[in-house]
Amino acid sequence: MSSLYNYDSDYVTGYNRKKLTIFIVGVVLAAMVVVGRLAYVMLIKGQHYDDMATNIQQRERSIKAQRGVIYDRNGVVIAGNEAVCTISVIHNQVADKETVIKNLSTLLEMDEAAIRKKVEKVSSREKIKSNVDRETADKIRSLDMDGVMVDEDYKRYYPYNTLASKVIGFTGGDNQGIVGLEVYYDDTLQGIPGSIKTLTDSRGIEIANAAETREEPIPGQNLITSLDVNIQQYTEQLAVQVMELRGATRVCIIVMNPQNGEIYALADVPEYNLNEPFELNVTTTATDAEPTNDQLNNMWRCFPISDSYEPGSTFKIITSTAAFEEGVVTVNDGFNCPGYRIVGDRRIRCHKTVGHGSQTFREGIMNSCNPVFMDIGARVGAEKLYENMEKLGLFEKTGIDLPGEAGSIFHNLKDVKEVELATISFGQTFQITPLQLMRAASAVVNGGTLVTPHFGVYVTDENNNIVKKISYNTRTGVVSEETSETMKGLLEDVVAIGTGKNAYVDGYRIGGKTATSEKLPRSSNKYISSFLGFAPANDPQVMALVLIDEPTGTYYGGTIAAPVIGDLFDNILPYLGLDKEISTDTDAREVIYIPDTVF
C-alpha cells in the first residue's frame, strides 16, 4: 500500500511539473509574440499608424495651382489667370443649417434645393461652387458662418475673347484643358496643387486657434507660341469680312513660315468666345434651348486641323513637282487643250470649255489647265506620283501640336487606274487637310525640307526663364533644289501674269496657286474656293492659305480667294520686316498674254 502511494505521488509531481513547464513556455511564447507585435507596430509600422492618426485628426483642403500662361511670339498674354474663390461646406461644423442655405443661395444665385443637398450630405468637405468672384466671396466670408469655407482659387481668363479660339481652346471648372493648346500642353501648363491642413477633434470639428499646416502650390510652366496677336487679329477681321461679303458658311486662313513651320495665325470663322465656351456663337431656332453636345463640338472644331477636303487645283503644285522630280516634263514642253480630255471611258473637261489650245507647260500651269495636268500625271504614273506624295508627307498626319488632327484619304495604289490617276493629277477624288497641303507646298518652295507645322516654341518658368525649346521633326531632301527653284518661278508667274493675278501686291514678288473645288456630292453645286500664296517668291518667308467654304454667287478661286491673300500680304509683309522689292530680272521671265480666266 505504501509503495503504491509513493508511485502515485511521483506521478502527480511529474505531471504538475510538465504542466508548469508547458504553461511557462506558453507564457514566454505569448510574451514574445506580444513583444514582437509591439516592435513591429512601433518600429516598422509606427509611421503608418502615426499618419493614420494624423489623418483622423487633420482635415486637408487643396490649394489649386496657378495654371501656366500662354503667350504669343511677342510676349502678349493670350491665356492668363484671374483670382477667384471656391466655396465649400463642412457638414460637422455647420451650426445653423437654414441660415447657411439661405445666404449661399442668395449670394451665389443658386437653387436652395441644390445647396441643401450639399449642406446635408455627410462628408468631410462638399464643394458648393467654384470660380466665384472675389467680391461675392468677401461677402460670404464677412458673414462668418460656421462650416462655410472660402478658399483662394484661379480661373482661366482669355483677354481677347474670340481671338484664335479654335487654336487656344479652353479649360474646365477644374482648370484642366479641354480642347486646343490648353489640352495638348496640359501637362506643361498644370502646376502642382498645394494644401491646407487643420486639426480636428473626434467629431471632425476643427479645433479653434490650432495651427494650420500649409503647403504652397507650384505654378504651372508657361507656353510661348508662334502666334502673333497682330497678324491673328487682322487675319480674323479679313476672314469675317470675306464670309459676310461672299455669304460663305466658313472661311479659314492660315499664315505660316514655310521655312520652319511656325504658324503666325490661324483663323477659322465663325470663332467662339473662350470666356463663354458653352454659349453658341450662332442663333439657333430654339433660342432658350440648351446647346447640344453636337452643336458645341461643331463650334469648337478646327476645320483646318480636323477635317479634310478635295484641294482642287492647288494640288497641281504637287503634280508638277513630281513631274520635274521624275524628269518627265520641262517648262517648255508643248501641250494642246481642246477643252477636255478623253480618259478611258470618261470625258473629263477643262474649266475653259472651249479649250486653251496649244500651250507650253509653263502656260498650262498659269492657265490651271486640267488636260495639261492629266497628261503629265499619265507621264509620271501612279506609282511614282504616290512615291513623291509620300515624300511630301501626304500619307501621314503633319504632327501639329493640336489634338484631333485628321489624316488624308487616298485611293489604294492598286486601285488607281487611268481615270483615277487623271483626276488625282488635278486635285480631285481624294482628300487631304489644309495643313497637309501647306506642309507639302512649303517643302516644294523652301528647297526640299519637310517641316512640322506648329504653335509651341518655348516653355518658360514662372519668372519667364526659358526651360525648354520645343523641337519638331524635319526631313531634308524631299524635293531637289533644282525642282524647288523651278516651281518657285512657275508659281510666281501664276500670280504675275496668270490665274492668280488678283493676289499680286505692288512691290513684292508673290507666288501662288488658285483652286475651285467642287464638294461632294457633285450635284450639290457647292464649292470651296481657295488660294495658296507665298512671299517673297524667290525666298519664301511667309505662306498663306485661304479657304472659302460654300460661297454664294461667284465661287472661282482666282476671283474671290486670290484677292484675300493679296490683301493679307499687303498688310502683313511690311509688319514682318519684308521690304518691297522691284524685280529687275525681266530677262528671266517672258511676258505672255493670258486670257481672263477665273479658275
DSSP string, 187-248: HHH--B-EEEEEEB-TTSPBPTTPPPEEE--BPPPEEEES--HHHHHHHHHHHHHHHHHHT-
Residue 260 pLDDT > 60: yes
**Terminal-to-terminal C-alpha distance of the chain:** 138
The residues that are catalytic are 313
Residue 327 pLDDT > 50: yes
CATH for 268-274+305-588, among 3.40.1710.10, 3.90.1640.10, 3.30.360.10, 3.40.710.10?
Answer: 3.40.710.10
CA 576 to chain centre: 25
Q: Could you report the per-residue pLDDT of 136-173, keeping only the tens digit for each? A: 999 999 998 988 988 888 889 999 999 999 999 999 97
Which pLDDT does position 288 carry in this prediction?
62
Per-residue pLDDT band for 15 (boundaries 50, 70, 90) equals low
Q: Which superfamily, per CATH, for 59-221?
A: Penicillin-binding protein 2a (Domain 2) (3.90.1310.10)
Q: Could you report the per-residue pLDDT of 94-117, keeping only the tens digit for each? A: 889 899 999 999 999 999 899 999
Lowest mean pLDDT among 287-296, 380-389, 486-495: 287-296
Q: What is the mean pLDDT of the chain?
A: 89
Domain borders along the chain are 2-44, 59-221, 268-274+305-588
The alpha helices in 40-85, defined as continuous H runs, are 46-57
Which pLDDT does position 44 carry in this prediction?
72
Closest CA to 404 of 252, 302, 545, 253: 302
Rounded Cα distance between 161 and 278, Å, is 13
* Residue at 285: amino acid letter: T
Residue 234 pLDDT > 50: yes
Residue 186 pLDDT > 80: yes
Q: Could you report the per-residue pLDDT of 32-72, keeping only the tens digit for each? A: 887 777 777 677 766 665 655 555 455 566 778 899 999 99
* Most confident range, picked from 12-16, 202-206, 511-515: 511-515
Lowest mean pLDDT among 173-187, 205-219, 454-468, 509-523: 205-219
Q: Which residues, listed in sequence order, are joined to residue 87 by a DSSP beta bridge? A: 129, 150
Which pLDDT does position 173 carry in this prediction?
78
Which pLDDT does position 599 carry in this prediction?
44
Burial class (CB in 10 A: 0-12, 13-18, 19+), 554: exposed
The average pLDDT across 268-276 equals: 97
Which pLDDT does position 198 carry in this prediction?
65
Which pLDDT does position 406 carry in this prediction?
97
Which pLDDT does position 215 carry in this prediction?
82
Which pLDDT does position 182 carry in this prediction?
98
